[in-house]
Amino acid sequence: MTIDTISAGNAGDIPPVPLETSVEIPNPPVLSPEDVVIAVMGVTGAGKSTFISLFADDAQIGHGLQSCTSNVSIHAATINGQKCQLVDTPGFDDTNRPDAEILREVANWLNISHENQVQLAGIIYLHRISDNRLGGAAMKNLRMFKRLCGNDSLQCVVLATTMWNKSNVSLDEQRERELLEKPDFWGKMVKEGSQVFRHDNGKESATAIIECIIGKGHRVTLDIQKEMASGKTLDETGAGREVQTDMAALTKKHEKEMNSLRQELQDAKDKHDSSAIEEINQLRTELADKIRSDEEARKSMQVDMETLRAQREEELQRQRDEAHQRELDHQKEMADAQMKLMAIKHENEAEAQRLQLQVHMAQMEAEAAKRDRERAERERDSQGGCIVM
């Protein structure tokens, strides 16, 4: 398949600007328009951080399906002498964060990149071939990915399957064919120029994927970058509308559950079932919190590029402050524990000295008693066995 060249535009004389990364990284990498920047995306557990760790030791690897990538993070790497920056991104099925918050994080990083004329050389989208079907979280991630990129960017995309089963390759190949044949899956993306690789979790296949992107020499501006640069708010972008569709369905589900709980509560009141009333009220409180959270998430996307950036800076500063406070709290806890340990040690030493003295006194008394016994025996012997006490 052929891939047309996308012009990078005039980089100008803009100096390197540090882009936002995870708050855990003390010294964020400085990116410039000349850097080869490659984003790694995909569902949680597809192997994004593991892929990056093949080239960068500072990549944090998670285990199981618990997300370990909570923020966009940048990792410097060198592949066969070519320096590049690999960008790890959270999936839109994060175990701890709503999709709206993740979109704000990813969109803000992309906006800052765009403002500083740092363009992506390409995107690697990882997918577990071991998944029985492309549904639920995987399908949602793919839809979001398409909305973020737009059709014009697909020729700079590598679609890579992971977690192949060597003992049942035929089944995985069948799943691969389904991905490639169905337009809603990868079919249309491949027709638009996306390339497909198999990644066996080894460095050789990962290197081939990155070399494919580097070899094109392209630079790409994603749809969401163009949309927000034109003045659209986040909820007006294609990716924002996709998230809102999912949120609307979730809100409708929550409201339906709330109506059911109202009826159950009335039935429990009619039966004077205090235990059921308490349980239902607890469920209603939790559900009301979810509905309120849905509304807050919806409002959080009604921001333009500048407002989003200002809010994200405040959020990151708050995260840093909270992390710093936790660090101070843990340091105090550690210092208190050390003082307690020293006190116990001193107390134990004093107790040990007391016991040692007690043993010494008992030993002296035993020796004195022994001398008294020997003296008594001598007196008995000297008196022919008649000892007067």
Helices and strands in the chain, H and E counts? 10, 8
Query: Which residues sit opposite 197 in a β-bridge?
Result: 160
Dihedral angle of Cα 169, 171, 172, 178, to the nearest 10 degrees: 140
Residue 18 reports pLDDT greater than 80: no
Q: What is the pLDDT of residue 64?
A: 45
Identity of the highest mean pLDDT range in 163-167, 227-231, 294-298, 327-331? 227-231
Window from 150-159, 193-202, 287-296, 330-339 with minimum mean pLDDT = 330-339
CB under 8 Å to 99, separation ≥6 — which residues?
92, 140, 144, 243, 246, 247, 297
Q: Quick check: 389 pLDDT over 70?
A: no
Check residue 65 and give its pLDDT.
Answer: 41
What confidence category does residue 382 fall into, taking pLDDT thresholds of 50, 70 and 90?
low
Decide if pLDDT at 268 tops 70: yes
Q: How far apart are CA 276 and CA 54, in angstroms?
A: 54
**Rounded CA separation 171/167 (Å):** 10
Residue 292: other Cβ atoms inside 10 A: 11
Would you place residue 31 in the very low, low, confident or very high pLDDT band (cuts 50, 70, 90)? confident
As a whole number, the mean pLDDT across the chain is 84
Residues in the chain: 389
How many Cβ atoms are within 10 Å of 100's Cβ, its own excluded? 24
CA separation, residue 118 to residues 36, 216, 236 (Å) = 9, 17, 23
Distance of CA 44 to the CA centre of its chain: 9
- The b-or-e profile of 33-56 (16+ CB within 10 A means b, else e) is bebbbbbbbbbbbbbbbbbbbbbb
Q: How confident is the model at residue 61 (pLDDT cuts 50, 70, 90)?
A: low
- Pick from 95-99, 127-131, 236-240 the range whose average pLDDT is largest: 236-240
What lies within 8 Å, CB to CB, of 294 at 6+ separation is 247, 250, 251, 254
The stretch 365-372 carries a mean pLDDT of 83
Task: Decide if pLDDT at 385 tops 60.
Answer: no
Angle at the Cα of 236 from the Cα atoms of 233 and 238, rounded to 5 degrees: 125
Higher pLDDT, 108 or 365: 108
Render pLDDT for 111-139 as a digit per residue (tens, 0 to 9). Answer: 999 999 999 999 999 999 988 777 678 88
Structure confidence at residue 7 as a pLDDT band (50, 70, 90): very low
Nearest partner of 243 among 104, 49, 53, judged by Cα:
104
pLDDT at res. 12: 41
pLDDT 10s digits, 198-229:
998 889 999 999 999 999 988 999 999 999 99
pLDDT of the residue at 345? 83
